[in-house]
Amino acid sequence: MVAHAQPHPLSRRPAAPSLAARPPAKPQPTSVHHPRQEPHTRRLVLTLLVVLLTLLGLAYGGSIAITKILEQQRVTAVMGPKARLAPLPAMDIALGGARAIDVQVSLVLAPKVKADAVLRYQDRIADRLFERIGAMEPERLTAPGSGQRLKDAVKEAVQREAGAGLIRDVYIERMVVR
């Protein structure tokens, strides 16, 4: 057994110099033409300020968007979902004499009814409305309750041509008696 072996020459660590003997470190210039510059605190403060203002703007915009979404959900909860409409084409129906009526209506569909189920019969519904409204007297279409008469005529034409239970209501978009 060897009592005192010499350590490997590369495994020796150099002795640490004492702290008192070390001179203070001076920053070395990066090059002769560009000496080392002190940190720009103003630039750092402005950069942080711009970042904070940007984050504030994004937070404000996000809060407005969330508020609008919640408001729309509240309105939907109070009023119910939007009605699904099936618009019929505009019609110009001649009444007796020189009078005519311009009509544009939309059908409020019943739940689970697709617009195609009603709109494929729109030509037949329009023919039925021409017959029914053309037979009415012009005075009945200008008197009080004429809107309800028109709605009833449209409902009857849809039920007769497309079938019952497809629509809930009729919205009159335009009704002009000339």
| Per-residue model confidence as pLDDT tens for the chain (178 residues) | 556 666 666 665 655 555 556 666 666 656 666 666 666 788 889 999 999 999 999 999 999 999 999 999 998 888 877 778 888 889 888 877 788 889 899 999 988 888 888 889 888 998 998 888 888 887 888 888 888 999 999 999 999 988 888 888 999 999 888 8
| 161 lies in the same domain as 99 | yes
Domain that holds residue 76: 42-82
| 104 lies in the same domain as 56 | no
Q: How far apart are CA 116 and CA 118, in angstroms?
A: 5
Could you tell me which residues come within 8 angstroms of residue 176 by beta carbon, excluding any fewer than 6 positions away? 101, 102
| 49 lies in the same domain as 105 | no
Q: How far apart are CA 14 and CA 25, in angstroms?
A: 21
Q: pTM of whole model > 0.75?
A: no
Look at residues 52, 82, 112 and tell me which one is the last residue of a structural domain. 82
C-alpha count within 13 angstroms, C-beta hemisphere, residue 111:
2
Could you tell me which residues come within 8 angstroms of residue 92 by beta carbon, excluding any fewer than 6 positions away? 100, 101, 102, 103
Residue 114 in any domain: the answer is yes
Residue 23 in any domain: the answer is no
Structure tokens at 156: 């009857």
Could you tell me which residues come within 8 angstroms of residue 169 by beta carbon, excluding any fewer than 6 positions away? 83, 107, 108, 151
- With beta carbons less than 8 A apart as the criterion, state whether 170 and 125 touch: no
| 111 lies in the same domain as 76 | no
| 121 lies in the same domain as 173 | yes
